[in-house]
Every structure is written in C-alpha cells, then in structure tokens.
C-alpha cells in the first residue's frame, strides 16, 4: 500500500507564503508560479466567490493533492486539522497565501462580503483523492493519537 500522508502530515507542515508585491503607481502585481513561489506544479486553479458570511467551504482532506490558497479580495479563515492539532489562519492580503499539504482536513469559513478565494492545486480534480467524511479522516489519522 502507498504511504498515506494522513498518518504523518501535521498542521505545522502548512505555512503562509508571502508573494512578491511589485508596486506600480497604476496598481500592484503579485505572481504565483508552480515550482517557484509554491513547491509544486500547478495543474488546476479555481476560485470561490459570493460565499455567504455564515457558510463553510472545504470540509475535506486530500490524499495527494496540495493547495495554495489566497484571499484575492476580502478575507476568510482557514481551519487546519491534522487529527491531533487544529490551527485557524486568517487570509486577508492578496500577496499572502497558505500552503496546505496532503492529509490535512480544511474548512474555510468567516467569509467577508465580497471575498474571493483563489486556490492553486497540484493535481487535476480526482474524486478518489478526497476524504470527505470527518469520521473516516479521524480513522486515517488514528495512529497519531496512539500513545508512543
């Protein structure tokens, strides 16, 4: 069986990355390139918008896919969960993004009015890569909670 990152991934493997902000008097420019600012090739980009403030998005983990999430406009929170520890990170700058590694449960919430969430993903969409049930996620991460 292939290695399952749910057994080893930690919320501490996820990190904020500050993109270069190229300032111009007629507007700023930030760039995201696969293998450069993010440590993976980008195979898919999508964005969330018009999310009601009381709604949640995400609510899953991935077996292999990595993501880089940026608040292009407005702000929202990302709750990271590795089965042992949770972290809440607020994204509110278009030049700061959050790298989420494999095996981490994520929930996006607390969307401000007009928020736009852009996600760069390491893989094309594959439903088999998703773990969408939290109880299944907890079973996959159970070895992290075993006494050593």
Catalytic residues: 60
Q: Looking at beta carbons, which pairs linking 83-91 to residues 24 or more positions away fall under 8 Å?
A: 83/6, 83/137, 83/138, 83/140, 83/141, 83/142, 83/144, 83/145, 84/10, 84/141, 84/144, 84/145, 85/10, 85/11, 85/12, 86/11, 87/11, 87/14, 89/14, 89/16, 91/117
């Amino acid at each position: 069986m292939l290695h399952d990152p749910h057994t080893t991934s930690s919320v501490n493997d996820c990190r904020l990355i500050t993109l270069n902000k190229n300032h111009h008097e007629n507007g700023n420019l930030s760039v995201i390139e696969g293998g450069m600012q993010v440590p993976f090739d980008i195979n898919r980009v999508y964005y969330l918008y018009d999310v009601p403030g009381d709604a949640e998005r995400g609510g899953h983990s991935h077996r292999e896919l990595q993501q880089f999430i940026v608040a292009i406009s407005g702000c929202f929170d990302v709750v990271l969960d590795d089965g042992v520890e949770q972290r809440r990170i607020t994204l509110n700058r278009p030049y700061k993004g959050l790298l989420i590694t494999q095996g981490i449960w994520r929930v996006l919430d607390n969307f401000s009015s007009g928020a736009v969430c852009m996600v760069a993903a390491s893989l094309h969409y594959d439903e088999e890569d998703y773990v969408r049930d939290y109880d299944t996620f907890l079973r996959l991460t159970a070895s992290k909670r075993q006494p050593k």
